Structure 1
Amino acid sequence: MGDFTATLPRKRMGAGVLLSDPTGRVLLVEPAYKPDWEIPGGCVEADESPLAAAQRELKEELGLTLPIGRLLVTDWVPPRPERTEGFMLVFDGGVLDAEQTARISLPADELRSWAWCAEPEAVDRLSTLLARRVAAAIRARADGTTAYLENGSLPIA
C-alpha cells in the first residue's frame, strides 16, 4: 500500500525577504534573466522549509547570512498559461546597517544590480503582482500583523 499523499496536488512555493535600510526603503534586486525587479528570494526546493529557502537565497543572491524574522505575507497565486499555481511567502529580514549593506555581493550571472527603493519607486520596478505583495508586506511589518493574500490582494470576504 503506497503513501496516498504522493497522489495529492503539488504547489510551486517561493520565499522572499523584505529588507530595509534605516530610512524605510526596501532592497530590490535586478535579475539578469527578466525585466522586472524582485525582492531577494526564490523557489523553495524539495524537502526545504520556506524559512531555510529564504536564508539560502539571501546567501546566494546577496552574500549575506542574516537572521530571518517573522512571516509577513502568505500569497496564493492562481495558475496562468505560463506557470502553475503557487504559494509565495515573504519574511521580515529587518533593517540592514551600513556594514551589512557594504557586504552585499551579487552573483553576476543571476543579478545585474540592487537598489534601495521607496515604496513608489519599488512599485514602478516590480511586477504588478509583486508590487501588491511587497506593499502588503510593508503594511504587515508596520502593523505587527501577517497578511493572507490571493494573487497579491486581500481576499474579498
Structure 2
Amino acid sequence: MTEDFTATLPRKRMGAGALLTDHRGRVLLVEPTYKDYWEIPGGSVEADESPLSAVARELKEELGLPVRPGRLLVTDWVPPRPGRTEGLMMLFDGGELTAEQAAQIRLPAEELRSWAWCTEGEAGERLSELLARRIDAAVRARAEGVAVYLEDGHFVA
C-alpha cells in the first residue's frame, strides 16, 4: 500500500487558548515561569488531539478548572521567525468565571508563577504585542458574535 499524499504535506505547530473573563470583563492572564511575558491560558495541541480538547486539557492542567470552552473566536496564523516554525493559534471562548470558580484556581508551580484579572490596558503591558492583538481580537469577536481570522495578530480583509 502506498503512502497517502497527505502524509507528505508540511506540518504546522498549533496552539489553543481560552478567553476567560470575570463579571467586569477583565481577561484572565497567566505568568509563565519560562517566559518574560504573560500568556492567555492554553498551550500546544498534541499529536492526534483536537484544538478544543487541547484547550480543555490545558485549562485543567494549568488552572485546575474543568472548563469546557465554547465557540472558536480567533484563528491566527503566525509566520516563522528565527528558532520557531510557523503556526496556527486558536482562541476559544472560555466564558465568564464566577468568583467561586476563580477561588478554585490552582497553578502548577513549575510552570506558572501567578495569574491575574487584567483590563485591556493592563493586558497590553504584560503581553507581547502579538498576544495583545490576538486577545483584543478575541474580545471583539466575542462581543460581535463572530469568529475572526488573523495573520500575525492582524485582521485580514
**TM-score by structure 2 length?**
0.98
Indicate the residue corresponding to 2:18 in structure 1.
Answer: 17
CA apart distance, 1:6:
1.1
The aligned amino acid for 2:88 is F
User: What is the SS of the residue equivalent to 1:39?
Assistant: coil
Indicate the residue corresponding to 1:111 in structure 2.
Answer: 112
The aligned amino acid for 1:115 is A
The aligned amino acid for 1:132 is R
Deviations 1:54-79, CA, capped at 9 Å, x for gaps = 00000000000012110000000000
Across the aligned residues of Structure 1 and Structure 2, the Cα RMSD in angstroms comes to: 0.6
Gaps of 5+ in 2: none
Indicate the residue corresponding to 2:102 in structure 1.
Answer: 101
Indicate the residue corresponding to 2:129 in structure 1.
Answer: 128
Residues of 2 paired with 1:71 and 1:123: CA distance?
22
Residues of 1 paired with 2:152 and 2:78: CA distance?
5
CA apart distance, 1:4:
1.6
Gaps of 5+ in 1: none
Indicate the residue corresponding to 2:142 in structure 1.
Answer: 141
Equivalent residues in 2 for 1:17-96, closer than 5 Å:
17-96=18-97
Deviations 1:103-141, CA, capped at 9 Å, x for gaps = 000000000000000011001100010000000000000
User: What is the SS of the residue equivalent to 2:142?
Assistant: helix
CA apart distance, 1:17:
0.3
The aligned amino acid for 1:154 is F
- The count of residues paired between Structure 1 and Structure 2 equals 156
Residues of 2 paired with 1:54 and 1:137: CA distance?
15
Residues of 2 paired with 1:98 and 1:2: CA distance?
52
**TM-score by structure 1 length?**
0.98
The aligned amino acid for 1:130 is L
Residues of 1 paired with 2:80 and 2:3: CA distance?
29
User: What is the SS of the residue equivalent to 1:10?
Assistant: coil
